[in-house]
């Protein structure tokens, strides 16, 4: 199976978040918990279901990523934009921080 993480939007402010290695929802994709098997996927989805039920996040889904020496990277333009921010205004979004 492919390397995957889970992403969602935080209900409080709409920020894109990822389920982190510390079992908390974080804003940076580089700290996301990765899984490679069906059991790992089920575990991530269960954590997302719990967070959605407690109204912390909304719209959780698994996404494929790759890992190299520099860290975790998204595989699609959509997920890159969600992770960093607008592609026409580098002074906005996470990329400006």
SS3 readout for 14-53:
CCEEEEECCCCEECCHHHECCECCHHHHHHHHHHHHHHHH
Domain positions in the chain = 4-96
Tens digit of each residue's pLDDT (9 = 90 or more) over 7-40: 999 999 999 999 999 999 999 999 999 999 999 9
DSSP assignment, residue 67?
Answer: E
- The pLDDT tens digits for 34-61 are 999 999 999 999 999 999 999 999 999 9
- Report the alpha-carbon distance of residue 71 to residue 90 in Å, rounded: 21
């Amino acid at each position: 199976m492919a390397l995957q993480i889970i992403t969602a939007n935080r209900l409080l402010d709409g920020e894109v978040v990822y389920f982190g290695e510390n079992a908390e929802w974080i804003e940076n994709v580089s700290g996301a918990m990765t899984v490679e098997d069906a059991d790992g996927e089920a575990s991530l989805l269960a954590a997302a279901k719990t967070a959605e039920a407690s109204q912390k996040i909304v719209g959780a889904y698994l996404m494929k990523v790759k890992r190299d020496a520099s860290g975790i990277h998204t595989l699609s333009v959509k997920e890159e934009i969600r992770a960093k921010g607008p592609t026409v205004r580098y002074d906005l979004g996470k990329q400006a921080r």
